[in-house]
Amino acid sequence: MLSAFAIIGALMWAGLLLVPWRPHRTDEHLEATEPGRMPPDEGRRVSVLVPARNEAAVLGRTLPPLLAEPVVAEVLLIDDHSTDATRAVAEALQHPKLRVMAAPELPPGWSGKLWALEAARREAREPWLLLVDADIELEPGMLPALIGRQRNTGAALVSVMVHLRMQEIWERLLMPAFVFFFKLLYPFRLANGPQSAFAAAAGGLMLIEARCLEAIGGFGALRGALIDDCSLAAAVKQSGARIWIGLTHGARSLREYPQLANVWQMVSRTAYTQLHHSPILLSLCVVLMIASLVAPPLALLFGDGGERLAGLIGCAAMGIAYWPTLRYYELPAWRVITLPVAGALFLAMTIASAIGHHRGTTAVWRDRSYPAA
Protein backbone atom coordinates (compact mmCIF):
# COMPACT_ATOMS: atom_id res chain seq x y z
CA MET A 1 0.00 0.00 0.00
CA LEU A 2 2.79 2.44 0.91
CA SER A 3 4.56 1.63 -2.34
CA ALA A 4 1.47 2.39 -4.43
CA PHE A 5 0.80 5.65 -2.61
CA ALA A 6 4.46 6.72 -2.90
CA ILE A 7 4.48 6.05 -6.65
CA ILE A 8 1.23 8.00 -7.10
CA GLY A 9 2.67 10.86 -5.08
CA ALA A 10 5.88 10.93 -7.10
CA LEU A 11 3.89 10.98 -10.35
CA MET A 12 1.66 13.78 -9.06
CA TRP A 13 4.55 16.05 -8.10
CA ALA A 14 6.50 15.28 -11.28
CA GLY A 15 3.39 16.01 -13.33
CA LEU A 16 2.87 19.28 -11.51
CA LEU A 17 6.36 20.43 -12.49
CA LEU A 18 5.73 19.56 -16.14
CA VAL A 19 2.26 20.98 -16.84
CA PRO A 20 2.51 24.03 -19.15
CA TRP A 21 0.58 26.43 -16.88
CA ARG A 22 3.17 25.94 -14.06
CA PRO A 23 0.93 26.58 -11.03
CA HIS A 24 3.86 26.23 -8.62
CA ARG A 25 5.68 29.25 -10.06
CA THR A 26 5.33 32.87 -8.95
CA ASP A 27 5.57 34.41 -12.42
CA GLU A 28 2.21 36.16 -12.05
CA HIS A 29 3.00 38.95 -9.63
CA LEU A 30 2.59 42.72 -9.44
CA GLU A 31 4.62 45.09 -7.30
CA ALA A 32 4.06 48.71 -6.33
CA THR A 33 5.17 51.28 -8.89
CA GLU A 34 8.02 53.57 -7.89
CA PRO A 35 6.97 57.23 -7.49
CA GLY A 36 7.39 59.10 -10.73
CA ARG A 37 7.57 55.92 -12.84
CA MET A 38 3.84 55.62 -13.46
CA PRO A 39 2.69 57.47 -16.61
CA PRO A 40 -0.31 59.80 -16.35
CA ASP A 41 -3.58 57.91 -16.48
CA GLU A 42 -5.61 60.46 -18.43
CA GLY A 43 -7.98 61.31 -15.61
CA ARG A 44 -8.60 57.79 -14.29
CA ARG A 45 -10.39 58.12 -10.93
CA VAL A 46 -11.21 55.44 -8.40
CA SER A 47 -13.78 54.97 -5.64
CA VAL A 48 -12.41 52.85 -2.79
CA LEU A 49 -14.86 50.60 -0.93
CA VAL A 50 -13.72 49.43 2.51
CA PRO A 51 -16.04 47.08 4.43
CA ALA A 52 -15.10 47.22 8.12
CA ARG A 53 -16.37 45.15 11.01
CA ASN A 54 -14.57 45.65 14.32
CA GLU A 55 -11.42 47.04 12.68
CA ALA A 56 -10.68 49.99 14.99
CA ALA A 57 -7.19 48.65 15.75
CA VAL A 58 -5.95 48.83 12.14
CA LEU A 59 -7.76 51.71 10.44
CA GLY A 60 -5.19 54.25 11.60
CA ARG A 61 -2.62 52.42 9.45
CA THR A 62 -4.69 51.26 6.49
CA LEU A 63 -6.82 54.29 5.62
CA PRO A 64 -4.13 57.04 5.28
CA PRO A 65 -2.27 55.35 2.36
CA LEU A 66 -5.56 55.05 0.48
CA LEU A 67 -6.49 58.65 1.12
CA ALA A 68 -3.05 59.81 -0.01
CA GLU A 69 -3.29 58.28 -3.50
CA PRO A 70 -3.91 61.02 -6.11
CA VAL A 71 -6.10 58.73 -8.26
CA VAL A 72 -8.47 58.10 -5.35
CA ALA A 73 -11.51 60.35 -5.63
CA GLU A 74 -13.28 59.00 -2.56
CA VAL A 75 -12.98 56.36 0.12
CA LEU A 76 -16.25 54.85 1.34
CA LEU A 77 -15.82 53.05 4.63
CA ILE A 78 -18.84 50.91 5.47
CA ASP A 79 -19.18 50.20 9.18
CA ASP A 80 -20.63 46.70 9.19
CA HIS A 81 -22.41 46.84 12.58
CA SER A 82 -19.15 47.02 14.53
CA THR A 83 -19.19 46.69 18.30
CA ASP A 84 -15.88 48.52 18.76
CA ALA A 85 -14.74 52.04 17.87
CA THR A 86 -14.44 51.40 14.12
CA ARG A 87 -16.65 54.32 13.12
CA ALA A 88 -15.12 56.74 15.62
CA VAL A 89 -11.56 55.95 14.51
CA ALA A 90 -12.46 56.50 10.85
CA GLU A 91 -14.36 59.73 11.47
CA ALA A 92 -11.48 61.08 13.57
CA LEU A 93 -9.34 61.24 10.42
CA GLN A 94 -11.58 64.08 9.14
CA HIS A 95 -10.36 63.69 5.56
CA PRO A 96 -12.36 65.31 2.74
CA LYS A 97 -12.12 62.17 0.59
CA LEU A 98 -13.47 59.90 3.33
CA ARG A 99 -17.15 59.05 3.71
CA VAL A 100 -18.13 56.84 6.62
CA MET A 101 -21.37 54.91 6.14
CA ALA A 102 -23.37 52.57 8.32
CA ALA A 103 -24.29 49.30 6.62
CA PRO A 104 -28.06 48.77 6.47
CA GLU A 105 -29.58 45.90 8.43
CA LEU A 106 -28.37 42.59 7.02
CA PRO A 107 -31.07 40.97 4.86
CA PRO A 108 -31.61 37.19 4.91
CA GLY A 109 -29.36 35.27 2.53
CA TRP A 110 -26.56 37.86 2.42
CA SER A 111 -23.07 37.64 3.92
CA GLY A 112 -22.13 40.71 5.91
CA LYS A 113 -19.17 41.74 3.75
CA LEU A 114 -21.08 41.51 0.48
CA TRP A 115 -24.04 43.45 1.83
CA ALA A 116 -21.72 46.20 3.05
CA LEU A 117 -20.01 46.33 -0.35
CA GLU A 118 -23.34 46.46 -2.15
CA ALA A 119 -24.46 49.39 -0.01
CA ALA A 120 -21.24 51.25 -0.83
CA ARG A 121 -21.38 50.34 -4.53
CA ARG A 122 -24.72 52.10 -4.85
CA GLU A 123 -23.14 55.27 -3.43
CA ALA A 124 -19.85 55.18 -5.37
CA ARG A 125 -19.41 57.87 -8.03
CA GLU A 126 -16.38 56.76 -10.06
CA PRO A 127 -16.11 54.31 -12.99
CA TRP A 128 -13.52 52.13 -11.23
CA LEU A 129 -13.91 50.56 -7.80
CA LEU A 130 -11.13 49.38 -5.51
CA LEU A 131 -12.42 46.74 -3.09
CA VAL A 132 -10.04 46.44 -0.16
CA ASP A 133 -10.33 44.76 3.22
CA ALA A 134 -9.99 47.11 6.18
CA ASP A 135 -6.90 45.27 7.45
CA ILE A 136 -4.91 45.64 4.20
CA GLU A 137 -2.13 48.23 4.11
CA LEU A 138 -1.06 49.43 0.66
CA GLU A 139 2.41 50.67 -0.20
CA PRO A 140 2.63 53.94 -2.17
CA GLY A 141 2.29 53.12 -5.84
CA MET A 142 0.28 49.92 -5.40
CA LEU A 143 -2.95 51.36 -6.73
CA PRO A 144 -1.24 52.91 -9.79
CA ALA A 145 0.34 49.49 -10.41
CA LEU A 146 -3.11 47.87 -10.36
CA ILE A 147 -4.39 50.49 -12.78
CA GLY A 148 -1.39 49.95 -15.04
CA ARG A 149 -1.96 46.18 -15.09
CA GLN A 150 -5.62 46.73 -15.94
CA ARG A 151 -4.69 49.05 -18.78
CA ASN A 152 -2.08 46.62 -20.15
CA THR A 153 -4.31 43.54 -19.99
CA GLY A 154 -7.73 45.05 -20.64
CA ALA A 155 -9.09 43.12 -17.67
CA ALA A 156 -12.31 44.27 -16.01
CA LEU A 157 -11.15 42.72 -12.73
CA VAL A 158 -7.58 42.84 -11.43
CA SER A 159 -6.76 41.31 -8.05
CA VAL A 160 -3.68 40.41 -6.09
CA MET A 161 -3.10 38.07 -3.18
CA VAL A 162 -1.69 40.38 -0.55
CA HIS A 163 1.35 39.54 1.55
CA LEU A 164 -0.05 37.60 4.50
CA ARG A 165 1.47 38.04 7.94
CA MET A 166 4.25 35.47 8.48
CA GLN A 167 5.75 36.31 11.86
CA GLU A 168 4.41 33.82 14.41
CA ILE A 169 5.30 30.12 14.21
CA TRP A 170 1.90 29.05 12.89
CA GLU A 171 1.87 31.87 10.36
CA ARG A 172 5.29 30.87 9.02
CA LEU A 173 4.24 27.25 8.79
CA LEU A 174 0.79 27.66 7.27
CA MET A 175 0.56 30.94 5.36
CA PRO A 176 3.12 30.18 2.61
CA ALA A 177 1.51 26.77 2.21
CA PHE A 178 -1.94 28.41 2.08
CA VAL A 179 -0.80 30.55 -0.87
CA PHE A 180 0.87 27.56 -2.52
CA PHE A 181 -2.22 25.36 -2.30
CA PHE A 182 -4.46 28.21 -3.46
CA LYS A 183 -2.31 28.58 -6.60
CA LEU A 184 -2.54 24.83 -7.23
CA LEU A 185 -6.33 24.87 -6.80
CA TYR A 186 -6.77 28.02 -8.90
CA PRO A 187 -3.84 28.19 -11.34
CA PHE A 188 -3.18 31.87 -11.97
CA ARG A 189 -2.02 31.41 -15.55
CA LEU A 190 -5.20 29.54 -16.46
CA ALA A 191 -7.38 32.08 -14.64
CA ASN A 192 -5.70 34.92 -16.55
CA GLY A 193 -6.18 33.22 -19.93
CA PRO A 194 -9.28 34.48 -21.75
CA GLN A 195 -9.88 31.08 -23.35
CA SER A 196 -9.78 29.16 -20.08
CA ALA A 197 -12.84 28.41 -17.96
CA PHE A 198 -10.81 28.79 -14.76
CA ALA A 199 -11.50 31.92 -12.73
CA ALA A 200 -9.95 33.16 -9.50
CA ALA A 201 -9.58 36.36 -7.52
CA ALA A 202 -8.08 37.35 -4.19
CA GLY A 203 -10.71 39.18 -2.17
CA GLY A 204 -8.40 41.32 -0.06
CA LEU A 205 -7.56 43.72 -2.91
CA MET A 206 -9.50 43.94 -6.18
CA LEU A 207 -9.87 46.64 -8.83
CA ILE A 208 -13.07 46.25 -10.85
CA GLU A 209 -14.89 48.27 -13.48
CA ALA A 210 -18.13 49.58 -12.00
CA ARG A 211 -19.96 49.06 -15.29
CA CYS A 212 -18.97 45.41 -15.40
CA LEU A 213 -20.03 44.88 -11.80
CA GLU A 214 -23.38 46.49 -12.55
CA ALA A 215 -23.83 44.28 -15.61
CA ILE A 216 -23.50 41.05 -13.62
CA GLY A 217 -26.04 42.24 -11.06
CA GLY A 218 -23.77 43.84 -8.50
CA PHE A 219 -22.91 41.93 -5.37
CA GLY A 220 -26.46 40.56 -5.33
CA ALA A 221 -25.27 38.04 -7.91
CA LEU A 222 -22.99 36.56 -5.23
CA ARG A 223 -25.22 37.19 -2.22
CA GLY A 224 -24.57 34.38 0.25
CA ALA A 225 -21.32 33.15 -1.28
CA LEU A 226 -18.68 32.40 1.35
CA ILE A 227 -15.94 32.21 -1.30
CA ASP A 228 -17.09 35.54 -2.70
CA ASP A 229 -13.84 36.54 -4.43
CA CYS A 230 -13.66 33.53 -6.74
CA SER A 231 -17.42 33.68 -7.26
CA LEU A 232 -17.04 37.28 -8.41
CA ALA A 233 -14.19 36.33 -10.76
CA ALA A 234 -16.28 33.53 -12.25
CA ALA A 235 -19.24 35.86 -12.82
CA VAL A 236 -17.03 38.49 -14.48
CA LYS A 237 -15.36 35.93 -16.73
CA GLN A 238 -18.68 34.33 -17.67
CA SER A 239 -19.90 37.76 -18.76
CA GLY A 240 -17.15 37.77 -21.40
CA ALA A 241 -14.77 40.16 -19.61
CA ARG A 242 -11.16 39.38 -18.76
CA ILE A 243 -9.66 38.95 -15.29
CA TRP A 244 -6.12 38.98 -13.94
CA ILE A 245 -4.76 37.66 -10.63
CA GLY A 246 -1.26 37.60 -9.19
CA LEU A 247 0.83 37.88 -6.03
CA THR A 248 2.23 41.06 -4.52
CA HIS A 249 4.52 42.42 -1.84
CA GLY A 250 2.97 45.88 -2.28
CA ALA A 251 -0.01 45.26 -0.02
CA ARG A 252 0.16 43.59 3.38
CA SER A 253 -2.45 42.03 5.61
CA LEU A 254 -2.29 43.18 9.22
CA ARG A 255 -4.54 40.30 10.29
CA GLU A 256 -2.80 38.22 12.95
CA TYR A 257 -3.03 34.43 13.22
CA PRO A 258 -0.93 33.78 16.33
CA GLN A 259 -2.58 30.46 17.21
CA LEU A 260 -3.40 27.36 15.20
CA ALA A 261 -7.05 27.89 16.15
CA ASN A 262 -7.09 31.22 14.28
CA VAL A 263 -5.97 29.63 11.02
CA TRP A 264 -8.23 26.62 11.64
CA GLN A 265 -11.27 28.89 11.91
CA MET A 266 -10.38 30.79 8.72
CA VAL A 267 -9.83 27.66 6.60
CA SER A 268 -12.56 25.40 7.95
CA ARG A 269 -15.16 28.10 7.34
CA THR A 270 -15.00 27.55 3.56
CA ALA A 271 -12.88 24.43 2.94
CA TYR A 272 -15.78 22.05 2.32
CA THR A 273 -17.43 24.64 0.09
CA GLN A 274 -14.36 24.37 -2.17
CA LEU A 275 -15.34 20.70 -2.62
CA HIS A 276 -18.96 21.60 -3.41
CA HIS A 277 -20.07 19.80 -0.23
CA SER A 278 -19.40 16.49 -1.98
CA PRO A 279 -18.41 13.44 0.12
CA ILE A 280 -16.98 11.89 -3.05
CA LEU A 281 -14.71 14.88 -3.70
CA LEU A 282 -13.75 14.91 -0.01
CA SER A 283 -12.75 11.24 -0.19
CA LEU A 284 -10.74 11.89 -3.34
CA CYS A 285 -9.08 14.87 -1.67
CA VAL A 286 -8.09 12.73 1.32
CA VAL A 287 -6.57 10.04 -0.90
CA LEU A 288 -4.66 12.51 -3.07
CA MET A 289 -3.35 14.49 -0.08
CA ILE A 290 -2.13 11.31 1.60
CA ALA A 291 -0.49 10.14 -1.62
CA SER A 292 1.20 13.46 -2.37
CA LEU A 293 2.14 14.73 1.09
CA VAL A 294 2.25 11.84 3.54
CA ALA A 295 3.38 8.83 1.51
CA PRO A 296 6.61 10.26 -0.03
CA PRO A 297 8.35 11.18 3.27
CA LEU A 298 7.14 7.95 4.92
CA ALA A 299 8.44 5.89 2.01
CA LEU A 300 11.76 7.76 2.04
CA LEU A 301 12.25 7.21 5.77
CA PHE A 302 10.81 3.74 6.32
CA GLY A 303 10.40 2.06 2.92
CA ASP A 304 12.48 -0.60 1.19
CA GLY A 305 14.57 0.00 -1.94
CA GLY A 306 11.80 0.66 -4.48
CA GLU A 307 9.60 2.51 -2.01
CA ARG A 308 12.52 4.64 -0.90
CA LEU A 309 13.31 5.60 -4.50
CA ALA A 310 9.69 6.61 -5.12
CA GLY A 311 9.73 8.55 -1.84
CA LEU A 312 12.95 10.31 -2.81
CA ILE A 313 11.55 11.34 -6.20
CA GLY A 314 8.31 12.51 -4.61
CA CYS A 315 10.05 14.50 -1.86
CA ALA A 316 12.50 16.08 -4.29
CA ALA A 317 9.75 17.12 -6.71
CA MET A 318 7.66 18.41 -3.80
CA GLY A 319 10.55 20.56 -2.62
CA ILE A 320 11.21 21.92 -6.10
CA ALA A 321 7.52 22.81 -6.45
CA TYR A 322 7.29 24.58 -3.08
CA TRP A 323 10.59 26.46 -3.29
CA PRO A 324 9.40 29.33 -5.59
CA THR A 325 6.71 30.28 -3.07
CA LEU A 326 9.20 30.27 -0.18
CA ARG A 327 11.68 32.29 -2.23
CA TYR A 328 9.01 34.85 -3.15
CA TYR A 329 8.32 35.43 0.55
CA GLU A 330 12.05 35.39 1.38
CA LEU A 331 11.79 32.33 3.61
CA PRO A 332 14.67 29.83 3.98
CA ALA A 333 14.85 26.86 1.64
CA TRP A 334 14.83 24.33 4.49
CA ARG A 335 11.16 25.11 5.04
CA VAL A 336 10.29 22.86 2.10
CA ILE A 337 10.35 20.00 4.62
CA THR A 338 7.43 21.59 6.50
CA LEU A 339 4.99 21.29 3.59
CA PRO A 340 3.77 17.77 4.53
CA VAL A 341 2.99 18.99 8.06
CA ALA A 342 1.13 22.04 6.75
CA GLY A 343 -0.70 19.88 4.22
CA ALA A 344 -1.79 17.41 6.89
CA LEU A 345 -3.15 20.27 9.00
CA PHE A 346 -5.06 21.75 6.07
CA LEU A 347 -6.50 18.30 5.34
CA ALA A 348 -7.64 18.04 8.97
CA MET A 349 -9.27 21.48 8.66
CA THR A 350 -11.08 20.36 5.51
CA ILE A 351 -12.37 17.23 7.21
CA ALA A 352 -13.49 19.34 10.19
CA SER A 353 -15.28 21.66 7.76
CA ALA A 354 -17.12 18.70 6.24
CA ILE A 355 -18.08 17.30 9.65
CA GLY A 356 -19.39 20.71 10.70
CA HIS A 357 -21.44 21.00 7.51
CA HIS A 358 -23.09 17.60 7.91
CA ARG A 359 -23.79 18.28 11.59
CA GLY A 360 -25.38 21.59 10.69
CA THR A 361 -23.18 23.57 13.07
CA THR A 362 -22.43 27.23 12.41
CA ALA A 363 -19.15 28.82 11.42
CA VAL A 364 -18.09 32.02 13.20
CA TRP A 365 -16.16 34.68 11.29
CA ARG A 366 -15.58 38.28 12.31
CA ASP A 367 -17.91 37.77 15.29
CA ARG A 368 -20.79 36.73 13.02
CA SER A 369 -22.26 33.25 12.61
CA TYR A 370 -22.81 31.59 9.24
CA PRO A 371 -24.09 28.14 8.28
CA ALA A 372 -21.21 25.68 8.30
CA ALA A 373 -19.39 25.51 4.97
List Cα–Cα distances, 302 to 5, 13, 92, 340, in angstroms.
14, 20, 62, 16
Angle at 319 between CA 318 and CA 321, to 5 degrees: 65
Say if residue 211 is in the same domain as residue 125: yes
Q: Considering 260, 287, 308, which residue would you say is the last residue of a domain?
A: 260
Say if residue 115 is in the same domain as residue 126: yes
The pLDDT-based confidence of 366 (bands split at 50, 70, 90) is low
Residue 40 lies in a domain: no
Nearest to 71 by CA among 126, 135, 134: 126
Between CA 127 and CA 71 the distance in angstroms is: 12
Residue 32 lies in a domain: no
Say if residue 249 is in the same domain as residue 286: no
**pLDDT tens digit sequence for 50-72:** 999 999 999 999 999 999 999 99
Nearest to 200 by CA among 240, 159, 258, 162: 159
The answer, yes or no, to whether residue 36 has pLDDT greater than 70, is no
What residues does 207 pair with on adjacent strands? 130, 158
The pLDDT-based confidence of 126 (bands split at 50, 70, 90) is very high
Which structural domain range is residue 87 located in?
46-260
Residue 37 lies in a domain: no
Q: Which residues contact 184 (CB under 8 A, 6 or more apart)?
A: 16, 23, 24
**pLDDT tens digit sequence for 230-249:** 999 999 999 999 999 999 99
Alpha helices in the chain, H assignment, sequence order: 2-18, 59-68, 86-92, 112-121, 142-153, 169-185, 188-192, 210-215, 228-238, 260-268, 271-274, 279-289, 295-302, 305-328, 339-359
The answer, yes or no, to whether residue 338 has pLDDT greater than 70, is yes
Say if residue 170 is in the same domain as residue 75: yes
Say if residue 228 is in the same domain as residue 289: no
Q: Strand 128-132 and strand 46-52: pairing?
A: parallel
Say if residue 199 is in the same domain as residue 74: yes
Say if residue 131 is in the same domain as residue 275: no
Residue 111 lies in a domain: yes
Residue 33 lies in a domain: no
Residue 106 lies in a domain: yes
SS3 category, 21: coil
Residue 41 lies in a domain: no
List Cα–Cα distances, 59 to 88, 125, 135, 156, 179, in angstroms.
10, 23, 7, 28, 25
Instruction: Compare 318 and 112 and report the one with higher pLDDT.
Output: 318
Between CA 353 and CA 338 the distance in angstroms is: 23
